[in-house]
Structure 1
Amino acid sequence: PRPHATPYPGKDEAAQDSARLNFIGIVFCMMFGTAALPHILMRYYTTPSVQEARVSVFWSLFFIFLLYFTAPCLAVLAKFDVYSNLVGSSFADLPAWAAAWAKVDPTLLNITDVNKDGIVQLAEIVIGGDLIVLATPEIAGLPYVVSGLVAAGGLAAALSTADGLLLTIANALSHDLYYKMIDPSASTTKRVTISKVLLIFVAIIAAYVTSLKPGDILFLVGAAFSLAASAFFPPLVMGVFWKRANKWGAIIGMLAGLGVCLYYMLRTYPFFTNMGVPKMDLWFGLNPISAGMFGLPVGMLTIYIVSLLTPAPDQKVQDLVEHVRYPHLRGDTAAQAS
């Protein structure tokens, strides 16, 4: 048996290289996906100037970094505690948290004496990944009430995130799609009504997809970051740092990046292939959760090519991009006054 702290575990060198590549892929998608999460980008609209927006970006990314940095530490501490205090103990002396959580859902925690020796072996422990965060306080010997606080915090975070995403999607569909492209003469009342209807519609679709349980929490979260990195990061960066980028390049680039990312997930993730989607081999051994590795460069390249083949933005748009890149205090003050 290999030490549990071995990085990039694998039975041979090829498996270790694959584990290393997939780790880099997840880091890549998490990094660029975080920079393009729509419900986070919306918070920057509330700042009064470009300079304040940059300060807001710094603090938000700082606290996001703390979350990302401490999550692996939590996993390591929980794993160390299980290895130290549970493995090798007697089945007659199992800790109270093991019996309690096994009663809640046997699929999340199951400890079975397979070889009938009365001693807990590592291979006899099955702990679901979704249980780690909730059970860690009790694993560490803290009171059960702490697990309740953790659960409440997780629920609050999930609800606030879902609320932000639903508002973002509904506002984008009602304002950017309907008002800007379908009916520019729509009244404010009509636009608000359409936004609320779309909000309910999107929430129902999200609830239905969730009820299908398309994957574990790791894949669902990772897929969100891959999709954000593929669809939103290319136009966000190209629009700010390349004045030649135009709306057609951004639109087609978003569709291309999103399409490649979704295509790879649909053709490689077991949930979809089991539903009849034709299965294909992994590209370079990357798991579906890292599909953003392919979608992001495709989106960037598409924006570049399409923008060169279509008319450049007008001077007003280019001046706005210049102001975003090099904000001046006088310009920000003038914008606030207007």
Structure 2
Amino acid sequence: MDTQFLVSLTIILVTFALYIGIAVYNKARQTSDFYVAGRGVPAVFNGMAIGADWMSAASFIGMAGTVLVLGYDGLGYIMGWTGGYLLLTFLLAPQLRKYGRYTVPEFIGDRYGSHGARVLAAICTIIISFTYSIGQLSGSGVVIGRLFEIDAAIGTMIGVVLIAFYSAFGGMKGITWTQVAQYIILIIAYIVPVIFMSLQITGNPLPWLSYGSVLDEMRVLDQELGISEYLVPFTEATKWQFLALMFTLMAGTAGLPHVIVRFYTVSTMKAARWSGAWALLFIGLLYLSAPAYAAFSRFILLTQIVGEQMTNLPAWTASWIDTNLLSVADSNGDGVLQWAELQFSNDIVVMATPEIANLGVFVIGLVAAGAMAAALSTAGGLMISISSSFAHDIYYRIFNPKASEEKRLAVARWSIVFATLAAGIVALNPPGAITQIVAWAFAIASGTFFPALILGVWWKRSNANGLIAGMLIGLTVVLTYIFMAKYGGVAILGIKDTGAGIFGAVAGFLANIIVSLSTKAPPKNLQDEVVDLRYPEQMSYKDGEVWMNDEKA
């Protein structure tokens, strides 16, 4: 075994031991621990956990690679995913926390007074979380596959075993505190290499300030090589696709059940708002670094790899070719590697860059540990979301309301095991790149939960019939457009499958509004509950009057 392997394996095993130790120490012993961590997480740590939950394999592994390949057009991912937190923090998170439920489907079922609405929301939660988890398991396969120099599919199944144990044991309480540790590890692992690259290329240790000069040099290189210019907008997609993707990711962020439930783990509405503010800070550290990462990596490839003799390529290329995520071919037979002859998955860029830039075995191992932290943290939250939707919203609230605490926890844990295994099987042959698969999950959330939650919180006239119609139509429109765009070549205004959420959201809003206005209004007590959500925690709305601490305001 070589030194790089031993160092990487040691760092990963040490971090795994840390996660397992935290999960065992914070083992969930009752349902409130398993679903909402006992509602006692401080805002700053909840923001850190949200950051880890959010910065999935798609962000850590795929984001910089997507920006590297797409250039300007890749910024739609960064702006969409960041902007969505503003919608969530100001329009939904505090209100949903005040309602005081365990899950998003439980909020919808009680807000609309409908078991049918609850079941539909639970099914949509499972679909979204399952789709999202495919991307995380695929990402863990990339990391483990490179570490052991085995096929990424075998690495994926190893990740399945790790995530199933890790998620089922600690529940939300264990996951919250492991996510705090995972955030610290993944952000260090992400920022250290880009600082080293900045020093190596520009002599400046602040990549956020220095990569502008590299962009200027790349503009000249692109023209000399006759390839698509990195900074020219809409070369890879239309302006409408850029806007549709950005909207899909923003609306999807505000409607993702596994993200929303993180705001249930704090004690007050104020803490929910502060959790969102802290989360934006912690997420911004990575998202502001991704464009610099992409620029430096592309610059190194253009100046140190492209133009080299095929027989004189660096040793790291052979290692990545073994994972089936990189291929080089001398298409024109001149014996020299051209940019067009270098074919690589978006998902290897961050993992390969420490080797490309020759940053040393410790940094390579650190990045591997950070990537695993990103995949594990998000996968854990997704599995809890699937588990709570099935075990709490369907099994307990619908089929067996008298189930004991022990029985409910057992069903929750086994549902995690089966969901992880099923997602892992699909991830063996993923239907797209990590960022693309994740974008589909956001599109589904845009068409289902975003209209349902916005109208459920801010429009008291929305009723169960409208909710069910809106979610079903929104889901149908999104899934239909994804399949038609990916497999049928359909592209309305050039909008691809990753921008499908804009069509689903419009359809979902219209269906909910039209059907709600065409049918009977919700009961007065439900309408009063909706109005009550708009007031601070110490205030309430009853019978058309505002109360402050049990006295009329």
The two structures have a TM-score, normalised by structure 1, of 0.83
Q: Structure 1 residues 172, 333: CA separation in 2 closer, same or farther (over 3 Å shift)? A: farther
The equivalent of 1:306 in structure 2 is 515
- Is the 8 Å Cα contact of residues 50 and 324 (structure 1) preserved in structure 2? no
- Is the 8 Å Cα contact of residues 241 and 493 (structure 2) preserved in structure 1? no
Q: Structure 1 residues 189, 119: CA separation in 2 closer, same or farther (over 3 Å shift)? A: closer
The equivalent of 2:314 in structure 1 is 95
- Of 296, 299, 310, the residue aligned with 1:77 is 296
Residue ranges of structure 2 left out of the alignment (5+ in a row): 1-225, 541-546
Give the aligned residue type for 1:155. Answer: M
The equivalent of 2:464 in structure 1 is 247
Give me the identity figure in percent. 40
SS at match of 2:343: strand
- Of 304, 313, 317, the residue aligned with 2:526 is 317
Give the aligned residue type for 2:486. Answer: Y
Which is worse superposed, 301-310 or 155-164? Answer: 301-310
Counterparts of 2:352 and 2:394, CA distance in 1: 44
The equivalent of 1:124 in structure 2 is 341
The equivalent of 2:419 in structure 1 is 202
Give the aligned residue type for 1:192. Answer: L
Give the aligned residue type for 1:39. Answer: H
Whether 2:395 is the aligned partner of 1:178: answer yes
Give the aligned residue type for 2:351. Answer: L
Counterparts of 2:279 and 2:464, CA distance in 1: 28
The equivalent of 2:52 in structure 1 is none
The equivalent of 1:13 in structure 2 is none
The equivalent of 2:273 in structure 1 is 54
Counterparts of 1:162 and 1:333, CA distance in 2: 41
Counterparts of 1:334 and 1:137, CA distance in 2: 58
Q: Structure 1 residues 260, 101: CA separation in 2 closer, same or farther (over 3 Å shift)? A: same
Summarize the alignment of residues 209-228 of structure 1 with structure 2, pairs less than 5 Å apart.
209-228=426-445
Q: How many pairs were matched up?
A: 319
The equivalent of 2:261 in structure 1 is 42
The equivalent of 1:291 in structure 2 is 500
- Is the 8 Å Cα contact of residues 474 and 507 (structure 2) preserved in structure 1? yes
Q: 1:6 Cα deviation (Å)? A: 4.1
SS at match of 2:327: strand
Q: 1:121 Cα deviation (Å)? A: 1.9
Q: Structure 1 residues 114, 264: CA separation in 2 closer, same or farther (over 3 Å shift)? A: closer
The equivalent of 2:80 in structure 1 is none
Give the aligned residue type for 1:50. Answer: M
Q: 1:42 Cα deviation (Å)? A: 0.8
Counterparts of 2:548 and 2:474, CA distance in 1: 37
SS at match of 2:494: coil
Residue ranges of structure 1 left out of the alignment (5+ in a row): 11-15, 271-278
After superposition, what is the alpha-carbon deviation per residue over 1:94-119, rounded to whole angstroms, capped at 9, x for unaligned? 334334433x33x3223333444443
SS at match of 1:132: helix
Q: 1:3 Cα deviation (Å)? A: 4.7
Counterparts of 1:64 and 1:33, CA distance in 2: 16
The two structures have a TM-score, normalised by structure 2, of 0.53
- Is the 8 Å Cα contact of residues 345 and 433 (structure 2) preserved in structure 1? no
SS at match of 2:229: coil
Q: Structure 1 residues 282, 87: CA separation in 2 closer, same or farther (over 3 Å shift)? A: same
SS at match of 1:126: strand
Q: Structure 1 residues 182, 307: CA separation in 2 closer, same or farther (over 3 Å shift)? A: farther
